[in-house]
Amino acid sequence: MEFLLSLKSLVHYFLHFGLPLVIALLFYRSEWKKAFLVLISSMLVDLDHLLATPLFDPNRNSIGFHPLHSYPAIGFYFGCLLFTKGYYRLFFLGLLLHMITDFQDFYLWNFLLKK
Ligand SMILES: [Zn+2]
């Protein structure tokens, strides 16, 4: 159990910080810092947690609960990913990666931890 909880944190932080760094280094080699910042800036989407009470609840799934984490919002991000270019597209990719991170945080780990 302890091991799984540590692994959950490791996966969470890797998806939030490590994966954007890998993407920036692999696909934006000469401008990796800018690409990394654009990807990381998509985490501002978590500002919608400020509207919720309590701010953080480990037993609540962000996806489908917070306005910027709603399914229509995710559909919008996906559409923007398809119809934008350059760093805008990268920003929407960051948003979708964020949603995947939050999604696996809840469903995958609740399943593995048998919650
Ligand atoms: Zn989130």
State the pTM of this model.
Answer: 0.90
Condensed to tens digits (0 to 9), the pLDDT of residues 23-55 reads: 999 999 999 999 999 999 999 999 998 999 888
User: What's the 68 CA to ligand 1 centre distance in angstroms?
Assistant: 8
Q: DSSP label at 42?
A: G
User: What's the 69 CA to ligand 1 centre distance in angstroms?
Assistant: 7
Tokens of 55: 């701010």
Give the confidence band of 113 by pLDDT, cuts at 50, 70, 90: confident
d(CA 86, CA 107): 32
User: What's the 46 CA to ligand 1 centre distance in angstroms?
Assistant: 5
d(CA 115, CA 82): 36
User: What's the 77 CA to ligand 1 centre distance in angstroms?
Assistant: 14
Average pLDDT taken over every residue of the chain: 93
Q: Where are the chain's structural domains?
A: 2-112
Q: Which residue has the higher pLDDT, 111 or 86?
A: 86
User: What's the 24 CA to ligand 1 centre distance in angstroms?
Assistant: 20
**115 pLDDT higher than 70:** no
The residue behind tokens 């609540």 is: 60
